[in-house]
Structure 1
Amino acid sequence: MTTGQRIKLLRQRAGMTRTVLAGLVGKSPDWVKSVETGRIQPPRLTTLAQIARVLQVPVQSLITAEEQIVLSTSTTHPALPAVREALNQWPISRDEPPTSLEHIAARIDVAWRVRHASPDHRTVIGRLLPDLIRDTQLAIRAYQGSDRNAAHAQLADVLGLTQMFLAYQNAADLLWRVVDRAMLAAQESGDPIALAQAAWFAIEVHRDAGDWDTAQSINQQVITALGPHLPDADTDLLAMYGALHAAAAFTAARSGRSGPAWRAWDEADRVVRNLPTGYYQRVTSFSRPVMIAHAVTLEVELHKGDRAVRMATTEQANAIPSRPRRARHLIEVARGHHLGHQHEATIGLLNRAYHTAPETIRFNTYARQIAYDLLTGPPALRRQAADLAVKVGLAG
């Protein structure tokens, strides 16, 4: 039995409805249903522990041996301790002169550029983040007026990079702190782009946690807040408006709501068609090439693997300039093939994702789960599956 099936059985044995269980663990009934039916990945261990306490069973009784392997081999990047230390520091001294905002802006720009260009993007930005976190925090203390507002916007930007570094690592405490601090910094900045970007990151975390109601609430509030700015909006703000609609589409699809998902996608597609040719939003990757990638993800989340596979083309994947984003798209296409039990194509795509950006696939829960599933797949492909398991970190 899967984790979801075990939760359902134990919940029913306890005489508890999905609504009651959801309320006791701070989730929605739809989230409980999605876990029980396998629509989403098993919850994190902290959430499983909550569920076990409510059902009055040991947490081990909720997890299969196979899922325990995937959960227990979560990857942690070597740069995590240095990033954690930087986040735990609160510079209060004004003895040293602050770094100029222009210099910080240039370093942030470099960090985003190498993040998209590097196959090992976590390693690259992991080296840059500690000093960037420190210098942006010092700038906020040192500057006043409009310069201080700009420093707040820069800190929110740096914390967005930090969230991308922390994603899918065993650092949930840091991740939530980063989300909160980024939203506060963006609000202090008064910059609508900074606010939109920080909200986009917050939506990502709430969605991954299965808190779809909060994700959609934040999404709608920020879309509404951007409304007055749209008549005079520049390209970057318009792109963020479109990216937020794409985010809403993703959340709706994750929760199994096809109609709202595609309506939000249509609005995002309308926005992207008005952006300059070749434009690529550096934080969200919102762009023309990525809109098809979003569509593939929606079909996969809606369990329409055959439709996802038909949408995907090699040319479209190659048009995505960001290596991590391209690798993530290849993983999504692999998920589509995996839904159709097309094992050889699945392995081929995951290998392409690995060669595109190894650190993307190593930290991707879906890729790791698929790699584990393939170990017990067709005998003729087990050697390839074993090689893939090594690449994603399931075996040494």
Structure 2
Amino acid sequence: MAARRSIGQRVARYREASGLSRAQLAEEVGRNADWLRSVESGRLPLDRYTMVHAIAAALDADPVDLLGRPTPVGDPRTRPAHRTVPALRRALLRAGLPLTVQEEPPPLDVLRRRVDETDRLRRHAHYGELGLLLPQLLDDLRAAADTSAGVDRDIAHHLLTEARHNAAMLTKKLGHPDLATAAAAQARQAAAVPGDPLLATAAQWLQAEVCLTVGATAEAQALIDGGLARLDGLLTDTAPGAWSLWGTLHLVGAVLEAQLGRQAESAGHLTEAATAADRVGEHPGHQTEFSAGELAIHLVHAALELGADPDVLDRITEVDLSRLPRERRARHGIDRARLFARAGDDATAVRELLAADRIAPEAVRAHPLVPELVLTAAHRSRTPGPATDAARRLAIPL
């Protein structure tokens, strides 16, 4: 298997194709030529989405191309998930076509159980199993939504919104932001039918997440602001669902502001989210996973984008993360690895990655920054060691 390119090597390739010198590109993103040389050579990891998006904009490139397109034939742990993408793409394309199946759709209680199962698989990063279930579920839910009436019609559209949410999240994690964009837009269409403002806001939050992934910060900001405005009049002592969405939107806002380098604004969002976490407790709603644990890992994630070092982890030592879904805990482990790699502690960074891999291997191996961390650690190591072993375990060709 050919060695995997680092993000820095891809940057060099795009920079040379665009005719820019290192000094010119570095100036565009507020750095110097020596820094860019270290990134392109693999001595420094390009581990901040803020910088990836800034470089992509300067090069007129898609951020996904710099992060690396999906590799469906590489890792046997993620290969089954990638193989489900064509069927899922076709299911999303069918969403606007007339129904062709004349059979009665499954009962709503059966569909509810099937949606719950996809929720579970998404939360714990069982992407291959999730991808197998979603295409037929999306078809069955669309049939139920189109053929039912009254309360049943609203329930069917609610379930369809949830399933499309899971489709958007899966395709986003697997590196297909265009499919995620389509699924999120379809989720928002379904959410508009029942007239439930919380469901509509949940769909807006989903779209904001997808926008953030591709660096569409203005669009993400508009969605966050619109969602918060809708929720403002719905926040009561007996509305945990509204508070969960309120807190979640503020967490996304905190990350967005961090990516824009606005520390005070990011901190303001985290303060609002902390207020919501006190009200919600351990009972989030609308697929948000919102809790004190979710607040803690977003605090770290936002700090990463602002250039923090590992000391930021001291701020969350008293927070219990054990109740978070496996996918969230694994992604936090990746953030921990990024912090230690930034501090030059590659051995600890590799240990954090391998610990995260034991929690949710599909989440770790689908993450675009994991290869970057391993490749940088291997490049900086003078002899084969932990980084080489990690590359072998995570199926990252050196």
Query: TM-score scaled to structure 1, two decimals?
Result: 0.80
Query: 2:204 is paired with a residue of what secondary structure?
Result: helix
Quick one: structure 1 residues 185 and 11, their matched pair in 2 at CA, closer, same or farther if it must change by over 3 Å?
farther
Quick one: structure 1 residues 97 and 51, their matched pair in 2 at CA, closer, same or farther if it must change by over 3 Å?
same
Aligned counterpart, 1:135: 140
Report the CA distance between 1:219 and its aligned residue: 0.3
- Give the Cα–Cα distance (whole angstroms) in 2 for the partners of residues 147 and 228 of structure 1: 27
Worse-superposed segment, 208-217 or 304-313? 304-313
Aligned counterpart, 2:327: 324
Structure 1 gaps, min length 5: 20-35, 53-58
Query: 2:279 is paired with a residue of what secondary structure?
Result: coil
Q: What code does the residue aligned with 2:271 have? A: D
| Cα displacement string for residues 27-62 of structure 1 (whole angstroms, at most 9, x for unaligned residues) | xxxxxxxxx9976353599x679827xxxxxx9xx9
Query: TM-score scaled to structure 2, two decimals?
Result: 0.80
Select the residue among 240, 263, 273 that pairs with 1:235: 240
| Cα displacement string for residues 255-289 of structure 1 (whole angstroms, at most 9, x for unaligned residues) | 1110110100100011101123x324472221122
Report the CA distance between 1:11 and its aligned residue: 8.8
Aligned counterpart, 2:52: 42
- Give the Cα–Cα distance (whole angstroms) in 1 for the partners of residues 47 and 328 of structure 2: 29
1:288-303 to 2 correspondences below 5 Å:
288-303=292-307
1:1-396 to 2 correspondences below 5 Å:
3=11, 6=15, 10=20, 40=50, 42=52, 51=60, 71=68, 74-75=71-72, 77-89=82-94, 90=97, 92-93=99-100, 95-116=102-123, 118=124, 120-231=125-236, 234-276=239-281, 278-281=282-285, 283-313=287-317, 316=319, 318-379=321-382, 382-395=384-397
Structure 2 gaps, min length 5: 1-7, 30-45, 73-78
Quick one: structure 1 residues 306 and 95, their matched pair in 2 at CA, closer, same or farther if it must change by over 3 Å?
closer
Worse-superposed segment, 217-226 or 98-107? 98-107
Query: 1:231 is paired with a residue of what secondary structure?
Result: coil
Percent of aligned positions that are identical:
24
Equivalent pair of 2:157/2:194 in contact (CA under 8 Å): yes
Name the count of aligned residue pairs. 361
Report the CA distance between 1:217 and its aligned residue: 0.9
Q: What code does the residue aligned with 2:299 have? A: A
Query: 1:292 is paired with a residue of what secondary structure?
Result: helix
Worse-superposed segment, 167-176 or 330-339? 167-176
* RMSD of Structure 2 on Structure 1 (CA): 3.5
Report the CA distance between 1:12 and its aligned residue: 10
- Give the Cα–Cα distance (whole angstroms) in 1 for the partners of residues 69 and 102 of structure 2: 45
Equivalent pair of 2:174/2:366 in contact (CA under 8 Å): yes
Equivalent pair of 1:157/1:194 in contact (CA under 8 Å): no
Equivalent pair of 2:105/2:143 in contact (CA under 8 Å): yes
Equivalent pair of 1:305/1:336 in contact (CA under 8 Å): yes
Equivalent pair of 1:115/1:124 in contact (CA under 8 Å): no
Q: What code does the residue aligned with 1:364 have? A: H
Equivalent pair of 1:338/1:346 in contact (CA under 8 Å): yes
- Give the Cα–Cα distance (whole angstroms) in 1 for the partners of residues 54 and 275 of structure 2: 36
- Give the Cα–Cα distance (whole angstroms) in 1 for the partners of residues 164 and 70 of structure 2: 26
Relative contact order (C-alpha < 8 Å, sep 6+): which is higher?
2
Aligned counterpart, 2:4: none
Quick one: structure 1 residues 275 and 186, their matched pair in 2 at CA, closer, same or farther if it must change by over 3 Å?
same
Query: 1:207 is paired with a residue of what secondary structure?
Result: helix
- Give the Cα–Cα distance (whole angstroms) in 2 for the partners of residues 394 and 373 of structure 1: 12
Equivalent pair of 2:70/2:175 in contact (CA under 8 Å): no
Equivalent pair of 1:250/1:261 in contact (CA under 8 Å): yes
Aligned counterpart, 1:28: none
- Give the Cα–Cα distance (whole angstroms) in 1 for the partners of residues 108 and 54 of structure 2: 39
